[in-house]
A = this chain, B = another copy of it.
């Protein structure tokens, strides 16, 4: 494979000149630049990223670590981040921790040996001390997404979880429901706690009682959500609507409904947080509170780039993004501007 020396030799210039046309093109005269570019073309020269990163002390790499790339939220996130990063000349290193913190830590180490310039992290579970120190050792800017980690001083981009919980619940109430099941994540996680708070707030605002028996912790996972939904249905007085606070649990809930032959909104209504790519492909089309994933990814990368560029300094900021209520047909209300669904 051709090196920069080969190019220099062929173009009859010094190695430094070739490097200059690559990096600061204006420092070299048009004539030489032309010769150099021709030589590069002819040899189909491609610089060696390792060597470059060694000398420049910057790799052009950005790490993105997510819990489950199979989850549409994260794959959309990757897409958004990669697009934005490419526009700024960065390459994104995706790490999939499978929601296991050992894997996540192994990945962080890997990213350190790659000398990434910055990291976007969707932390899985709670913050161990171990992980905090791994992050610190990275010695690069870190932006948290989806879940904030307090006290570490990192920038974060998160959903307005309280509002998401509020709007979903409020919509259900507006559709006439008074007993609303909540399939939530573990309350030790801030996201789950806030979504629950929003739920309670909407109940309160409508003068409805809060019944703890209607809320279940399904760990933000699909299987437990199936189980949780089954429990809710087995209640002496089951809810007439259910609200699942993430997409995995939405699927779990739907599975249980499908198993029982129950249809929305005929038998029970439902709404979830996170839109799903196939939400409009099922009958009835699924209402949801969507996260602005793309915008979140872009915001995170923007924060990171500003830290890298030095434009942004000081303690970490938290960017809160507004959820978006998508009214479709799973809660009994007609979608705006469309005739009601006839069963």
Contact = CB atoms under 8 A, between A and B. Distances in A.
Interface string A238-282: 000000000000011011011001010000000000001110111
A1 B139 contact: yes
A129 to B, nearest CB: 15
A54 B282 CA distance: 52
Number of copies: 2
Contact of A79 (B59, B96, B281): B96
A82 B66 CA distance: 13
B72 A70 contact: yes
A94 interface: yes
A93 interface: yes
A153 interface: no
Contacts of A277: 70, 251
A51 B59 CA distance: 11
Contacts of A342: 261
A306 interface: no
B59 A69 contact: no
A261 B54 contact: no
Interface in A80-116: 82, 86, 91, 93-94, 96, 98, 106, 109-110, 112-115
Contacts of A44: 137
A317 interface: no
A63 to B, nearest CB: 11
A118 to B, nearest CB: 15
A283 interface: yes
A12 interface: no
Contacts of A75: 69-70, 75
A20 interface: no
A78 interface: yes
Interface string A187-225: 000000000000000000000000000000000000000
Contacts of A324: none
A254 B284 CA distance: 11
Contacts of A263: 283
Contacts of A48: 54, 113, 115
A61 to B, nearest CB: 9
A69 B72 CA distance: 9
15 contacts: A46-B109, A48-B54, A48-B113, A49-B50, A49-B113, A50-B50, A50-B51, A69-B78, A254-B278, A255-B281, A258-B280, A258-B282, A258-B285, A261-B283, A261-B341
Interface of A: 1, 44, 46-54, 59, 69-70, 72, 75-76, 78-79, 82, 86, 91, 93-94, 96, 98, 106, 109-110, 112-115, 137, 139, 251-252, 254-255, 257-258, 261, 263, 276-278, 280-285, 341-342
